[in-house]
């Protein structure tokens, strides 16, 4: 039907676009095409924030939060991701025994939550069985890292955030009075998560106000500290010109940073691991690159962010991350609207959009658009192109045109990381055709953190281990041990097909992920002890 689809109904008009030029134009004209804030009400649950505001209010939120998103803090995220990925692999080895684990989605969520909690808020969360790092602030650990709810709470901090994410839709769609009073289990859980999280955040805010008054700063980004400092110092100095967020806006921004910095990044790690298990050749290529760039026997604690991150991003580590963001972007459509009549140009022809037209920038559509992405016939299906398949090797193909490729994002004046999202030495997509982090001034503030986090976590996991699909549902370890290569290949193909079917069932509910208890069982094996991915190939 083409790259631009206009749906006109008696009540509204919506333009869905997978056209890179149109996407880039709309995303760049922030004031002409604001966000439809009514779509974002769920994200204001705890207070207005950087994601759910527009105009001058948004600028104020962006101004307070963006200074923390700098390269010094990216280095801190790199360290935290290494530490946490080691905690996660140790945890998998302990819990899987000789079998498999089915918790990769849950565990990548914990991994991402632990990283943003530490780098963003100074809260050091650990894996069951992982020792607390020396010098951790014990009072904070007790409240936020505890595996049992602390006094005054019925859920742990992780459970309360997890509960909110899990019940986002009931929390959005059900009026508070109904949700709080009807005896359904799902409502009870949603209410419990909301109340616990709110209480944690109120306590955290009060603690931060005291810290700021004493002049204490937390490690790294200290997002809550920065929000409190700008607001309270201004308030106390009686400044009228300064930035004044109220308490609910401070808590609202903290919520958004936990949410945005958590589920999106976790989904990318989750799907990347599933795809690496399905694509043994890519997994082996990735491990070779890790060996070359970081060394097979080095201690990840010694990896230096500034020295290594560029090469990591230009290697198969960067390619697998980019490819997951292309085929399985956590945010599948970025909504915008016209506040008043606007003109756009499609293939050289000008068109007028009336006021209140809704616009959907189709992330999946433009990222799989054969007009803008070089493609080869699919090896997996009978499709003439491989753009629906996860093929990380495409990031090593030549760019379409030097003139058209995307440049650095145009976000400098709004703070945050100003470099490109993909390595300059790789395939550079046409501007507007690769927008997992959106585009223009309202693009993702945390994209550099997300990229660094995924690169570091994958490097830690695949330096020492391989990930295979579990085959326990069809054959025992003894039976596999007796199989020849042909039988093993047939068995593994079955497991890959199951994984692909499960991945295909993913749905976008806030972010794109598996639902309804769907999961793919995996097995973590030490390198050299693989049963399938060392030989098997497509």
Residue numbers at the binding site for ligand HEM (CB under 6 A): 50-51, 62, 116, 120, 256-257, 260-261, 264-265, 268, 330-331, 334, 436-438, 442, 444-447, 449-450
Looking at the Cβ atoms of 120 and 252, the one nearer to ligand HEM is 120
Q: Which is nearer to ligand HEM, 144 or 492 (CB)?
A: 144
Comparing CB distances to ligand HEM, the nearer of 113 and 520 is: 113
CB-nearer residue toward ligand HEM: 120 or 365: 120
In order of 5, 70, 366, 396, the CA distances from 326 in angstroms are: 21, 25, 9, 14
Least separation in angstroms between CB 76 and ligand HEM: 12
In the complex, minimum distance from the CB of residue 444 to ligand HEM, in angstroms, rounded to a whole number: 3
Q: Which H, E and C letters describe 1-22, residue by residue?
A: CCCEEEEECCCCEEEEECCHHH
- Nearest distance, CB of residue 52 and ligand HEM, angstroms: 9
Element (H, E) at 466: strand 465-469
End-to-end Cα separation, the chain, in angstroms: 33
**DSSP secondary structure of 176-227:** HHHHHHS--HHHHHHHHHHHHHHHHHHHHHHHHHHHHHHT---STT-HHHHH
- Our CB check for ligand HEM shows the closer of 274 and 334 to be 334
Three-state secondary-structure class, residue 507: strand
What is the β-pairing status of strands 358-362 and 13-17? parallel
Q: What is the Cα–Cα distance from 355 to 340, expressed in whole angstroms?
A: 4
**Minimum distance from residue 278 beta carbon to ligand HEM (Å):** 20
Would the annotation count 366 as a binding residue? no
- Which residue in the shown chain puts its C-beta closest to ligand HEM? 446
CB of 365 to ligand HEM, least distance (A): 14
Tokens 């969360």, residue located: 125
Give the nearer residue to ligand HEM in terms of CB position, either 116 or 353.
116
Strand bridging mode 511-513 / 522-526: unpaired
- Closest approach, Cβ 487 to ligand HEM, in A, equals 39
**Residue among 84 and 96 whose Cβ is closer to ligand HEM:** 84
Task: Kindly state the smallest distance separating residue 536's Cβ from ligand HEM, in Å.
Answer: 29
Pair 221, 69: CB distance under 8 Å: yes
HSE at residue 199, side-chain half, CA atoms within 13 A, is 18
Please answer whether residues 452 and 309 qualify as being in contact, where contact means their C-beta atoms are separated by less than 8 angstroms: yes
Burial string for 64-91 (b: 16+ CB within 10 Å, else e) reads bbbebbeeebbbbbbbbbbbbbbbbbeb
| Annotated binding residues | 444
Binding-site entries for heme: 444
């Amino acid at each position: 039907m083409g790259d631009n689809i206009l749906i006109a109904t008696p009540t509204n008009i919506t333009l869905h676009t997978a056209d890179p030029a149109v996407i880039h134009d709309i995303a760049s004209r922030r004031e002409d095409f604001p966000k439809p804030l009514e779509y974002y009400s769920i994200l204001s649950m705890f207070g207005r924030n950087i994601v759910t505001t527009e105009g001058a209010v948004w600028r104020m939120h962006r101004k307070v939060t963006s200074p923390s998103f700098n390269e010094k803090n990216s280095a801190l995220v790199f360290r935290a991701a290494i530490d946490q990925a080691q905690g996660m692999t140790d945890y998998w080895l302990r819990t899987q025994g000789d079998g498999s684990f089915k918790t990769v989605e849950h565990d990548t969520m914990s991994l991402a939550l632990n990283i943003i909690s530490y780098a963003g808020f100074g809260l050091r969360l650990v894996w069951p069985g992982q020792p607390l790092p020396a010098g951790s602030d014990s009072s904070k650990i007790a409240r936020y890292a505890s595996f049992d709810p602390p006094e005054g709470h019925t859920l742990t901090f992780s459970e309360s955030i997890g509960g909110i994410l899990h019940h986002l839709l009931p929390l959005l769609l059900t009026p508070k009075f109904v949700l709080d009073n009807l005896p359904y289990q799902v409502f009870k859980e949603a209410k419990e998560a909301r109340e616990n999280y709110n209480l944690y955040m109120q306590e955290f805010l009060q603690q931060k106000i005291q810290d700021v008054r004493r002049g204490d700063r937390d490690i790294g980004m200290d997002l809550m500290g920065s929000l409190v400092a700008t607001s309270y110092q201004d308030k106390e100095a009686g400044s009228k010109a300064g930035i004044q967020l109220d308490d609910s806006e401070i808590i609202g921004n903290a919520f958004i940073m936990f949410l945005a910095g958590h589920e999106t990044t976790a989904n990318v790690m989750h799907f990347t691991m599933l795809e690496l298990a399905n694509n043994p050749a890519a997994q082996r290529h990735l491990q070779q690159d890790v060996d070359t760039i970081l060394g097979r026997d080095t201690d990840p604690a010694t990896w230096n962010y500034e020295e290594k991150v560029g090469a990591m991003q230009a290697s198969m580590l960067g390619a697998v991350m980019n490819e997951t963001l292309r085929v399985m972007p956590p945010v599948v459509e970025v909504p915008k609207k016209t506040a008043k009549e606007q003109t756009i140009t499609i293939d050289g022809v000008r068109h007028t959009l009336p006021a209140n037209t809704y616009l959907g920038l189709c992330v999946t559509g433009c990222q799989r658009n054969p007009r803008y992405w070089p493609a080869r016939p699919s090896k997996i299906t009978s499709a003439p192109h491989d753009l629906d398949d996860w093929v990380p090797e495409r990031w090593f193909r030549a760019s379409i045109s030097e003139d058209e490729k995307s440049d650095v994002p145009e976000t400098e004046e709004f703070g945050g990381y100003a470099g490109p999202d993909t390595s300059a030495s790789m395939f550079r997509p046409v501007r507007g055709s690769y927008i997992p982090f959106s585009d223009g001034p309202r693009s993702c503030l945390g994209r550099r953190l997300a990229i660094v986090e995924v690169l570091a976590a994958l490097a830690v996991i695949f330096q020492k281990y391989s990930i295979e699909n579990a085959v326990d549902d069809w054959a025992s370890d003894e039976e596999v041990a007796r199989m020849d290569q042909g039988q093993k290949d047939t068995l593994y193909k079955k497991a890959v097909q199951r994984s692909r079917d499960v991945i295909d069932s993913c749905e976008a509910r806030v972010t794109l992920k598996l639902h309804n208890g769907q999961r793919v069982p995996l097995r973590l094996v030490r390198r050299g002890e693989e049963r399938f991915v060392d030989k098997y190939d497509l």
